[in-house]
Structure 1
Amino acid sequence: MSHSTAQLPIKEVLYQKVVDHLAFIYPELGIESIAQELIHTMRLDEDCQSPLAHKNLWDQTDIAVITYGNSILGENQPPLKVLHHFLQTHFPMLINTVHILPFFPYSSDDGFAVAAYKQVDPPLGDWHDILRISTDFHLMADLVINHCSAQHDWFLNYQKGEDPGSDFFVEVDPSEDLSKVVRPRITPLLRATSTPQGTRHVWCTFGHDQIDLDFKNPKVLAKIVDIIRLYLDMGVRVFRLDAVAFIWKRLGTNCLNLEETHEIVRLLRTLIEHANPNAVIITETNIPNQENLSYFGNANEAHCIYNFSLPPLLVNTLVTGNCRYLKNWLMSMPPAQNGTTYFNFIASHDGIGLRPVEGLLDDSELEALIQTMENFGGQVSWRALDDGSNKPYEINIALFDALKGTTAGEDEWQLRRFICAHAIMLALEGLPAFYLHSLVGTTNDYERMKEHGHNRAINRRQWQEHDLNEKLADPDSHHHVVFQQLRRLIKIRRTQPAFHPNATQFTLHLGDQVFAFWRQSMDRRQSIFCLNNISDQPQTISLNAINLIGTDEWKDLISEATYEDMLTTITLDPYQTLWISNRW
């Protein structure tokens, strides 16, 4: 920082922090007035709290669910009320965090082309519904920060040369060399747009209905901060910064993960945590693993980062029956500092991203994975490369169908393989998040994909609450079995200190067919050895090989089997998980 802050009041410390952030982002502008505006917008000149560095804002009881506001529909009730009722009914004391995907008016991309940031989409409900959910759950919401809808008032004003919006978007001469720009889509980067000044070409990272905002204009930053303040008032505790890696553009670069981008994340962190020290920032950066890790900063950027490499590596492990790549990746992952953690997920509203395994899976493994997913009904989405060619970007498939077999084809182990995947996620260092459709075993929705005309719709089914409840109550339904088994695993996890998101983790080496790791509680009183047979053949292990302490009593938390003879061997059935603990 540019000044000593040791003896200063908290508001002065905050002001100096904000000034320092802005001085890096806007070195050629007078930033004092901008700092004052941002602080005033956040009402930090009225009420400013002091955040604690390296404080863990979570523990082993924190479990998240990811869902659209209208994933479950009911009779004559707004979908947000139906969702609230469903979660209260089925997950009391099990799920405590709910990520409602963009619930604002939108024009495309199932909500991520936001047409009005300060409204709840009327077909979903209203702000009262959001507030009610936030009273019973930690509410996670998207800050769609990189772009807005072409139907947003800002862009409509831009086309008319009016404010606010006339200078909110990135204009580029199409003759510029943009070949280095990294894209997640195959659509043209620039969109020709008529304005009072003639035709202009605006930057569209994700498509022509999603126009990138120009953060080089501090007025754009001020608008985003104003939106953040509203979301805090509406009960949002966890902010998911959507596509944040793309927000700063500099010609001649790949326009990804630029230093100004990181500084903006640090600035938003400063503002948010001084408004609510218990608020959390999660960065959504679907990029190669090492680049993703950079968003922790020095525990001063994201509190959590999406563990994007986990879904493709885990699916690859379970369909090949070999955990070598997953194990190598796990050994390379640094322990998260206190005050930061990984946001673990293995399914989401999007597909299984392939960029996060660049450098982790070789080309032959990737090709085999893609082919296997296509054999199980999956689709492949593509991105454009700078040479004009296209490359697979993600696999679109419901996770339940992705695990219906192996590279050899479909088999009888689909259900056990699916439960094994979630048992691994629940036990790993980090905060686990379940996609709602995984919790209930939803399968590929080909009709919705055909109706909506894009691959991602295959995993975005809308259930009628009555129909879903019937399936969950039917013991012969796979939905019921998935639901009950996952609920049980969640219940077990929540009572184990060794499963704290920041508890110690070490990778164990028990061959390529057993993915194993050790967790130890932060007070070192509990150890859990997590053994997962990721193959379709039984695997035998000597207890001596995992160094169980003979003076302790050991029990598998899942099967409740006990182990007394440390020289004995145990056999894991196909896709069986053991959580062997010395405390229960």
Structure 2
Amino acid sequence: MEKIQTLWRELYKNSEEQVLDELQSYLRDQKKSNFAKYDDEQWYQKAVVYSLYVQFFDRTIEGLKKRLPYLQDLGVNCLWLLPVLESPMCDAGYDVSDYMSIRSDLVENKTQSKQERLDVFRDFITAAHEHGIRIVIDVVLNHSSSEHRFFQQAIQDRNSEYHDYYVWSDTGKEYPQTRIIFEGLCTSNWEYSSNVNRYYLHRFYPQQPDWNYRNPKVLLHILRIFVFWKQFGIDGFRLDATPFLWKEEGTNCESLPQCHTILKIIRAVLDYLEPGTLLLAEACQPTSQTVAYFAEGDECHAAYHFPLMPKIFLSLAKQNPRYISDIWQQTQQIPSACQWFVFLRCHDELTLEMSSSQERSLLYEHYCKNPQWNFRNKNGISARLSDLLDKDPRQIKLAFTILATLPGTPVIYYGDEIAMQNDNVFYEEMIEHTGYADTRNLCRNRMDWQQAQNALENAQTLEHQVHTYLRNLLQIRQQCDCFFQHNVQFVDLSDASEKLLVYDRAGTKSCRVVHNLGEEPVAFCCDDMITGSKIEVLQAYQSVIVEL
């Protein structure tokens, strides 16, 4: 509790003691509850994460529950559920209207009450835990939906207590150094409200007004949300849009010191109740800035390694291992209890923001094979893994092997394990629903389970080849503790081929991983753990894992 007090006073300069007293009283009362205890508080370092939209994976929470054996069999032991909280769905659920309610479209009986929907979700969490699968959900920290009851009161009356829960301006000219995140979709960070004759700030869509964390009651409200879901049995939270929480004139309003203090308060509150609940930062920043979200191991437990994703695709495009080895060697050390989360694709675009202008051009020219995939004026590419890699099973397997054997916790985007492709029909549906030509919806499509099951039964299909390979690969990963460590030692085998990416991973069971990024075979003799056989030639795009 002392740490919470110190951080609170650091943020609010001893001026909001009444709200702090309310928070402390609330936490002392909540601590009497039975929170889940973790045998291994660093469970996320051994996780294989599968990211999905419930409604697109199998329609409902009940449908997802039936697929738990499929996910367990694949090798998944953690599910990251993309937004499930109440929302009008203007931005795929990242516009939350009720943070303590599950959306009615995510249950089979659409007429169920709020409590009945929570009961369905609780049953699912219990079933997931019985299958050895942890549950992580999205919590949107930066903004709410414009349909949130607080905002609805805020725009009706500027004297409402909730008016100050959001960021307002009389001119709409404040914070001129803040970039427009949805460039090409939005023209300003401010939106005018005629009801109160003021502008409100939105770093994303106008339907997503930003919270005002200068008001301590906002932070108290957010903390209650975390405690609610922790009590519910949630194992972790993906913190959406973490760099944007605090606004300050004369800055770009990103990753400010107060932002980190807010996150440390959230961490301190959860740890006070019971340690082990994951906080995962979504901070699309260079790693030199992202490491600040770990602090001294007392802020976020994990963060995405955003710069790695484009470097993997650069290495594949240019058949050059240096892009990957260089970015890891530039990555700063992190506290031993922390972790990078690494991924090939996700619900957002293949971002080019972390790349130099030359690399950005190379990536765009090589991978944006359809002008429709352009996102945010060439700042990203909206395409699934299979589309990016020409539906080539060799390249897809290679990419997955790199992901699963580098340091970090791998995140698999739903459907990529069966080589799902972009869906133009779904994209057009979403334009009609939201009014925005958001090309990210090309790869937020629905799973067709009948088609998938038919394909998985046929050994000749792309779906079967990718799924079978990935399942075997994840089994190997779980058997070798070296893949749970932070260490990696890159090895120069350029004498054999300049297109070999080679690194050693040290642990109780140490391994050498060799990837042929090129189109030509390379002589290489070893006992390969992936195929379970001795090989003498490394074929084009083939990877091997060798026990040391």
TM-score by length of 2: 0.89
User: Residues 165-219 of structure 1: CA distance to partner in whole angstroms, max 9, x if unpaired?
Assistant: 2211001243645331133112111000134xx4111101001011000000011
Shift of 1:351: 0.9
Say if 1:299 and 1:340, in contact at 8 Å, map to a contact too: yes
Whichever residue aligns with residue 439 of structure 1, its letter is E
Q: Find 1:330's aligned residue among 328, 331, 350.
A: 328
Whole-Å separation in 1 of the counterparts to 2:155 and 2:82: 29
Q: Does 1:143 align with 2:127?
A: no
Say if 1:103 and 1:111, in contact at 8 Å, map to a contact too: yes
User: Residues 332-367 of structure 1: CA distance to partner in whole angstroms, max 9, x if unpaired?
Assistant: 12343221011111111111112223xxxx323321
Identity of aligned residues (%): 22
Say if 1:529 and 1:581, in contact at 8 Å, map to a contact too: yes
Shift of 1:44: 5.7
Say if 1:377 and 1:401, in contact at 8 Å, map to a contact too: no
Say if 1:69 and 1:124, in contact at 8 Å, map to a contact too: yes
Q: Secondary structure at the match of 1:447?
A: helix
Whichever residue aligns with residue 581 of structure 1, its letter is E
Say if 2:293 and 2:303, in contact at 8 Å, map to a contact too: yes
What is aligned with 1:410? none
The equivalences for 1:244-255 within 5 A come to 244-255=242-253
Q: Find 2:529's aligned residue among 550, 557, 577.
A: 557
Say if 1:116 and 1:152, in contact at 8 Å, map to a contact too: yes
Say if 2:35 and 2:230, in contact at 8 Å, map to a contact too: no
Whichever residue aligns with residue 24 of structure 1, its letter is E
Shift of 1:220: 0.5
Q: Secondary structure at the match of 1:530?
A: strand
Q: Secondary structure at the match of 1:117?
A: strand
The equivalences for 1:152-551 within 5 A come to 152-161=148-157, 163=160, 165-174=162-171, 176=173, 178-186=175-183, 187=186, 188-195=188-195, 198-357=196-355, 362-375=356-369, 379-382=373-376, 392-404=378-390, 414-453=392-431, 454-500=438-484, 502-511=485-494, 512-521=498-507, 525-540=508-523
Unaligned runs of 5+ in 1: 1-13, 383-390, 405-412, 544-553, 564-569
User: Residues 89-130 of structure 1: CA distance to partner in whole angstroms, max 9, x if unpaired?
Assistant: 352482111011111221211110111111100110222332
Q: Secondary structure at the match of 1:123?
A: helix
Say if 1:289 and 1:356, in contact at 8 Å, map to a contact too: no
User: Residues 287-336 of structure 1: CA distance to partner in whole angstroms, max 9, x if unpaired?
Assistant: 23322222111111110001111221111211221122222111112343
Q: Secondary structure at the match of 1:191?
A: strand
User: Structure 2 vs 1, CA of residues 145 and 438 (structure 1 numbering), >3 Å: closer, same or farther?
Assistant: same
Whole-Å separation in 1 of the counterparts to 2:102 and 2:152: 20
Q: Does 1:91 align with 2:50?
A: no
User: Structure 2 vs 1, CA of residues 450 and 489 (structure 1 numbering), >3 Å: closer, same or farther?
Assistant: same
Q: Does 1:27 align with 2:13?
A: yes
Give the alignment's Cα RMSD to 1 decimal: 2.4
Shift of 1:429: 1.1
Say if 1:377 and 1:444, in contact at 8 Å, map to a contact too: no
Q: Does 1:17 align with 2:6?
A: no
Whichever residue aligns with residue 529 of structure 2, its letter is L
What is aligned with 2:124? 133
Q: Does 1:70 align with 2:64?
A: no
Whichever residue aligns with residue 223 of structure 1, its letter is H
Whichever residue aligns with residue 515 of structure 1, its letter is L
Say if 1:145 and 1:244, in contact at 8 Å, map to a contact too: yes
What is aligned with 1:10? none
Q: Secondary structure at the match of 1:355?
A: coil
Shift of 1:30: 3.2
Shift of 1:530: 0.9
Shift of 1:557: 1.1
Whole-Å separation in 1 of the counterparts to 2:467 and 2:36: 38
Whole-Å separation in 1 of the counterparts to 2:349 and 2:22: 39
Shift of 1:475: 2.4
Say if 1:330 and 1:507, in contact at 8 Å, map to a contact too: no
The worse-fitting range, judged by mean Cα deviation, of 448-457 and 109-118 is 448-457
Q: Secondary structure at the match of 1:518?
A: strand
Q: Secondary structure at the match of 2:314?
A: helix
Q: Secondary structure at the match of 1:300?
A: coil
Whichever residue aligns with residue 462 of structure 1, its letter is R
Say if 1:247 and 1:261, in contact at 8 Å, map to a contact too: yes
Q: Secondary structure at the match of 1:160?
A: coil
TM-score by length of 1: 0.84
Whole-Å separation in 2 of the counterparts to 1:335 and 1:226: 33
What is aligned with 2:542? 576
Say if 1:448 and 1:458, in contact at 8 Å, map to a contact too: yes
Q: Find 2:99's aligned residue among 117, 120, 128.
A: 117
Say if 2:74 and 2:474, in contact at 8 Å, map to a contact too: no
User: Structure 2 vs 1, CA of residues 93 and 422 (structure 1 numbering), >3 Å: closer, same or farther?
Assistant: closer
User: Structure 2 vs 1, CA of residues 528 and 376 (structure 1 numbering), >3 Å: closer, same or farther?
Assistant: farther
Say if 1:515 and 1:532, in contact at 8 Å, map to a contact too: yes
User: Structure 2 vs 1, CA of residues 477 and 374 (structure 1 numbering), >3 Å: closer, same or farther?
Assistant: same
Q: Secondary structure at the match of 2:488?
A: strand
Unaligned runs of 5+ in 2: 108-116, 432-437
Q: Secondary structure at the match of 2:368?
A: helix
Shift of 1:377: 6.5
User: Residues 412-469 of structure 1: CA distance to partner in whole angstroms, max 9, x if unpaired?
Assistant: x811111111111111111111111211211011111122122011111112433332
Q: Secondary structure at the match of 2:76?
A: coil
Q: Find 1:79's aligned residue among 55, 60, 69.
A: 60
Q: Figure out how many residues of one structure are paired with residues of the other and give that number.
A: 518
Say if 1:146 and 1:212, in contact at 8 Å, map to a contact too: yes
Say if 1:66 and 1:348, in contact at 8 Å, map to a contact too: yes
What is aligned with 1:408? none
What is aligned with 1:8? none
User: Residues 377-423 of structure 1: CA distance to partner in whole angstroms, max 9, x if unpaired?
Assistant: 661222xxxxxxxx53321111111111xxxxxxxx81111111111
Shift of 1:376: 5.3
Whole-Å separation in 1 of the counterparts to 2:369 and 2:399: 20
Whole-Å separation in 2 of the counterparts to 1:221 and 1:21: 12
Say if 1:239 and 1:280, in contact at 8 Å, map to a contact too: yes
Whichever residue aligns with residue 87 of structure 1, its letter is L
Whichever residue aligns with residue 189 of structure 1, its letter is N
